[in-house]
Homo-oligomer: A and B are copies of this chain.
Amino acid sequence: MTLAAPSSGMFALLHAANAVEGFVESRLAAVGLSIPKLAALNRLVEAGDSLPLGQLAERLACVKSNVTQLVDRLEADGFVERAPDPNDRRSRLAVLTDRGRKAHTEGARIQSDAEHQIFSALSADDASRFAEIIAKLNGCRSKGH
């Protein structure tokens, strides 16, 4: 991404997403997180602290090879650990560590704060309109999967 071209709805959208992403990422960096890392921790917390990698991939809406690497990095950070799955020896669980739980709590707060900061530029009316419009745009699947 990072297009910086005016006069195109697409470029404007990508540019805004990029700006928002960078804004939030820069704040998350203070606790050693990135948006993908926080997203993974979110899913683990939602799931009760552990998930098979394939499940994690599905809930993050990304491919499994991606999660393999993301979990590698989270493991290096000490935020998750891999553990064998008692129900299926093919499978491995990503398990949240104490540090991971802590990072998740801090990250969630930071994300929430940053989001309030960003979206405070919008009136309540703008915000609901924004949500509607975004929902409509999300109908453009067909990525040739």
Contacts and interface: CB of A to CB of B under 8 A. Distances in A.
A127 B139 CA distance: 16
Contact of A1 (B21, B132, B136): B21
B141 A19 contact: yes
Given A1-B35, A62-B2, A10 B137 contact: no
Contact of A4 (B60, B122, B139): B60
Interface stretch (A47-55, A72-80, A86-94, A113-121): A113-121
B117 A140 contact: yes
Contacts of A22: 143
Interface string A19-51: 111111110010000011001001000000000
A112 to B, nearest CB: 9
A13 interface: yes
A8 B138 contact: no
Interface of A: 1-5, 8-10, 12-26, 29, 35-36, 39, 42, 59-62, 111, 114-115, 117-119, 121-122, 126-127, 129-144
Given A1-B35, A23-B140, 7 more contacts: A1-B17, A10-B114, A13-B16, A14-B20, A121-B137, A126-B129, A130-B130
